Amino acid sequence: MKKEIHPESYRMVVFKDVSNDYQFIGRSTAESKETVTWEDGNEYPLIKLEISHKSHPFFTGKIQFVDTAGRIDKFKSKYGKWDKKKKEEKAD
């Protein structure tokens, strides 16, 4: 590795998979405004993940539909007003 190009501010962080509430602890330089108390009683920064090895189809062997925070519904509500088919149906 090249010297003096990698960050030195690694610290212990709790990662949480929001699709199944699995948590694990590791080292990271990622910033976080949230904290969580870990099993050892210490408080660590919390980094939320949308997918981890506990929910990814490659590792689990099964396909799992993950619609985080209703992305599809948000998209439809935001851009549905420009849908020509809906306008034509309402006009009939």
Would you state the pLDDT for residue 8? 82
Would 1 be classed as within a structural domain? no
* Helix locations, 4-83, DSSP H: 57-60, 71-79
Dist CA 39 CA 23 (whole Å): 10
Count: domains in the chain: 1
Residue 74 lies in a domain: yes
> Is 40 part of any domain?
yes
Please tell me what DSSP assigns to residue 69.
G
Please name the helix (run of DSSP H) or strand (run of DSSP E) that holds residue 88, with its range, or none.
helix 84-91
Q: What is the extent of the structural domain holding 43?
A: 11-91
Beta bridge mates, 28: 11
Enter the pTM of the model.
0.58
**Residue spans of the chain under pLDDT 70:** 1, 53, 56-70, 82-92
> Strands, DSSP E only, in 1-92?
11-17, 22-28, 35-37, 43-49
